[in-house]
Structure 1
Amino acid sequence: MPLLDDLQSILHETFEGGQPGQPTLFLDGTKADGSGNHGLFATLAGLSAAQASEATILGLSVAAHAAHVTYYLEVGLVFMRGETPSGPFDWKGSFAPGTVDEAAWTDVQSRLRAAYDEMMARVAAAEPLAAEELVNPAVHSAYHLGAIRQAVKLLR
């Protein structure tokens, strides 16, 4: 299924980044020193809790964006599992916490990884998914990766 393969590739690059020496779909190419081309996980892992908590001129902190993407994926998984959602969903509140300590920062990153891994496992298992179940998280997460990468530039 070409669309499913394409969406899986977009999600992989968004979260895992591209592979050195391989063409990318939308991320910058990897530089000789290995920099560039980082997906969401590597970008977040490179920040301390204090850096992730710092609000930028763009508004939200990196921690707030990461918390929101995590919540978004977790809500999407409710639908992918065929569970009955317990909404209404708190989209505004999903940007909290905007300020994190090291334990909370580790927790946000762990929850994000777990949600991504489950979603990708469902795709790999060829579970019947509606296209929007992957289009939405692919586009939404790629947007937030861009916002986070811009915020990181302002922190340095």
Structure 2
Amino acid sequence: MGIVNSELLSRGVALLLNEAFAGPSGGGSWFTDEDPDSGVLGTLESLTAAEASVPLTAGDAATAASHASHLRYALHLANRAMKGENPYRDADWQGSWSTTTVSDTTWRELKDALKLEFETLKAAISDPAVWSSDKRVFGMMGNIAHSAWHLGALRQALGLVATPAPKRED
């Protein structure tokens, strides 16, 4: 296998980031359900503010709203990193979970802010120059894994993950 060029890397990362947030683009999926709305944004869009404010698991205060807030913050930091900043040294990860309850208005604002951070990051990674930094390459790979984990946690907790039917022994 030859060296992966920055254009191919950029396209691959953009495809996976897009799948994590917007859902798969036609022709199949790498890790989400094939439903067009199976990404983070579509999953969150299916929830009312009241539903987004309910803890996802017993004994844990995390809600869909807090996952959305945390992901928005993670993408915000990634956008800063793409500009050459080091936003992680003083990142407030714990604070990124503080939004647990939302009104209709704040839920819409949070989803819009998350979508804006996603679109900003998607535009930033389309520039092949950003791939000249190991930290950016590994950071984006980590960001995709992180986003996919939260997508899975949300969909599992919301009962949106289909369990394959057991194979019949005929």
TM-score of the superposition, structure 1-length normalised?
A: 0.85
Amino acid at match of 1:28: D
Deviations 1:59-107 (A, max 9, x none): 3111111100000110111111123538521111111201111111111
Change (3 A) 1:85 1:151: same
Task: Quote the Cα distance in structure 2 between the aligned partners of 1:57 and 1:128.
Answer: 38
Contact 2:76-2:117 at 8 Å conserved across structures: yes
Matches within 5 A, 1:87-106: 87-106=89-108
Look up the match of 1:25.
30
Amino acid at match of 2:63: S
Change (3 A) 1:29 1:85: closer
Q: CA deviation at 1:8?
A: 1.5
The answer to whether 1:137 aligns with 2:143 is: yes
User: Secondary structure of 1:19's match?
Assistant: coil
Contact 2:23-2:38 at 8 Å conserved across structures: yes
TM-score of the superposition, structure 2-length normalised?
A: 0.78
Task: Quote the Cα distance in structure 2 between the aligned partners of 1:117 and 1:132.
Answer: 20
Change (3 A) 1:56 1:27: same
Look up the match of 2:124.
122
Look up the match of 2:158.
152
Contact 2:22-2:37 at 8 Å conserved across structures: no
Contact 2:65-2:102 at 8 Å conserved across structures: yes
Counting matched residue pairs gives: 148
The runs of 5 or more residues in structure 1 that have no matched partner are: 31-35
Contact 1:80-1:133 at 8 Å conserved across structures: no
Amino acid at match of 1:153: G
The runs of 5 or more residues in structure 2 that have no matched partner are: 161-170
Look up the match of 1:33.
none
Amino acid at match of 2:40: L
Task: Quote the Cα distance in structure 1 between the aligned partners of 2:33 and 2:38.
Answer: 8
Amino acid at match of 1:79: A
The answer to whether 1:108 aligns with 2:110 is: yes
Contact 1:62-1:151 at 8 Å conserved across structures: no
